[in-house]
Amino acid sequence: MFPCDFAWGAGTAAYQIEGGWQADGKGPSIWDTFCHEKGRVFGEQNGDVACNSYELWEKDLECIQQLGLTHYRLSLSWARLLPDGTTRHINQKGLQYYNKVIDDLLTCNVSPMVTLYHFDLPQALQDQGGWKSPGIATLFDSYAKFCFQTFGDRVKLWITINEPYVCAKLGHEDGIHAPGLKEPGLAAYLVGHNMLRAHAMAWHSYNSFYRTEQKGAVSLAINSDWLEPSRAGCAEDIAATERSLAFTLGWFAWPVFVTGDYPEIMRSAIDAQSKKFGYSGSSRLPSFSKDEPAILGTADFFALNYYTSRKVEPGGGCGETLCMKSDRDAGEVLDPSWPICGVSWLAVVPHGLRKLLKYIKDTFNNPAVYITENGFSQVGPLQTEDVQRSEFYKDTIFEVAKAIQEDGVNVRGYFAWSLLDNFEWADGFSVRFGLFHVDFADAKLRRTMYLSGQEYVKMILKYKSAQST
């Protein structure tokens, strides 16, 4: 049922696991700065040490091998490689670290999927305007070319940017992620725009200079919930759901996979709101320039991060001010039949993934899809016998199997989030997504496989043996 070369993986991100925030010449990133400011993160926690994967990489490799993964998704810390964000100065120790990680993976027959940017912009670039500044796109492109040049002989699956939606909205509209800006209704659109430009430039660079020789594939990881109208058949709720999808998944997927431009629903809603609130500047949603590399067609596969599903109805704006919520005019409500057993935002809805995969197949011209993140977290007292999470993985992977077999979706891989318990952004270490428990109170940061990890091992074995028969 799963294709014989299906990728069975798990993922992590540099800031969430590496620690070594100042080690061996690494430059600071916006997450270092953000966490060191008071009141930003749960319990004033930070990723200074995290899982210390910078020093304990071999322990992570053991975890990867114990799970029997075929693939491992990691991200590179831009500021560890290029401390001031530019290729003027390369940190050799950072280079050595990632070379070792990649080489070790390959020695163990595990293919790396490498994310270039997972939320941790070099602080030096933030000081020059960060993702709000148009010049960031060429700086990102230089960084990407450096990585393709350096690691591309061995890395065949690339993600340029992880979850531009989250970076844009949580980092620049809500201010709850680094860099902590609250500029509602303005900055997020600009940031999203520059991220799309940066991604497209990097894809074109790969395409022109590296593809023929390296034969890899490049995409960006788009997060999306599955969304349904709150009241089935209700016209207003159906329209609100369409708006919500356009403002999340569509914001990034539409330009890349369908038209080269933003969804029309998004542009007209933003223009209408601007008018309503007497905003007289140029459109808050920027336009793509014809003189720059095209956005359309800049993904070799669809990389999807899926966590949950929601019901949608109109409303949810923020009163007499401009903001993304008012532009969208759609609110998400919880369905009581979808249980929440961990963090408050994550209703457990495995079948939502199947529906979303079918939607992606139909809307984006049947692309090859990698599920680059999916998982479910624990909060509260520790349970190493995490039965609910084990069930979650079983049910979810079964839904993926049905998407492949019954709906004909071309799913090429599944990456559980996450290999290890790690620094869960604004929630610090209070939220555990790992297949391995990490004892953060232990100086050795001991890793122990959860029951859910053991179940994942069994599932991989079971499905792999079915693949080869």
Positions annotated as catalytic residues are 373
- Name which of 162 and 273 has its Cβ closer to ligand GAL: 162
> Among residues 160, 245, 221, which one has the least CA distance to residue 371?
221
Q: Does 341 bind ligand GAL (CB under 6 A)?
A: no
> Which range binds ligand GAL by CB under 6 A, 42-50, 98-106, 158-166, 434-442?
158-166
Two structure tokens written together for 222: 């788009």
- Name which of 16 and 248 has its Cβ closer to ligand GAL: 16
- Name which of 18 and 424 has its Cβ closer to ligand GAL: 424
- Name which of 433 and 440 has its Cβ closer to ligand GAL: 433
- The single residue among 417, 429, 436, 440 that binds ligand GAL, judged by CB under 6 A, is 417
3-class state of residue 102 by DSSP: helix
Site string for ligand GAL, 74-93 (x = CB under 6 A): --------------------
**Cis previous bond, 377, omega within 30:** no
- Name which of 71 and 284 has its Cβ closer to ligand GAL: 71
- The single residue among 52, 91, 111, 162 that binds ligand GAL, judged by CB under 6 A, is 162
Question: Which residues are CB-neighbours of 352 under 8 A, at least 6 positions away?
Answer: 225, 226, 306, 308, 309
Cα–Cα dist 20/101, whole Å:
15
> Which range binds ligand GAL by CB under 6 A, 20-28, 159-167, 324-332, 397-405?
159-167
Q: Does 223 bind ligand GAL (CB under 6 A)?
A: yes
Query: How far apart are CB 13 and ligand GAL at their closest, in Å?
Result: 5
Q: Does 370 bind ligand GAL (CB under 6 A)?
A: no
Name residue, tokens 């001991």.
446
Cα–Cα dist 46/422, whole Å:
11
Query: How far apart are CB 208 and ligand GAL at their closest, in Å?
Result: 29
Q: Does 166 bind ligand GAL (CB under 6 A)?
A: yes
- What residue type is 379 in one-letter code? V
- Name which of 168 and 269 has its Cβ closer to ligand GAL: 168
Q: Does 374 bind ligand GAL (CB under 6 A)?
A: no
Q: Where are the alpha helices (DSSP H) in 130-263?
A: 136-151, 164-172, 187-205, 211-214, 235-245, 251-253
Q: Does 225 bind ligand GAL (CB under 6 A)?
A: no
Q: Does 433 bind ligand GAL (CB under 6 A)?
A: yes
Site string for ligand GAL, 291-310 (x = CB under 6 A): --------------x-----
Alpha-carbon distance values, 347 to 162, 224, 308, 392, 450 (Å): 22, 14, 6, 11, 21
> Among residues 61, 144, 159, 151, which one has the least CA distance to residue 110?
61
Q: Does 421 bind ligand GAL (CB under 6 A)?
A: no
The answer to whether 32 touches 125, Cβ cutoff 8 Å, is: no
Q: How far is CA 389 from the centre of its chain?
A: 20
Site string for ligand GAL, 14-43 (x = CB under 6 A): --x---------------------------
> Which range binds ligand GAL by CB under 6 A, 162-170, 238-246, 249-257, 437-445?
162-170
> Which range binds ligand GAL by CB under 6 A, 36-44, 206-214, 230-238, 417-425?
417-425
Query: Which residues of this protein are in contact with ligand GAL, per CB under 6 A?
Result: 13, 16, 162-163, 166, 223, 305, 373, 417, 424-425, 433
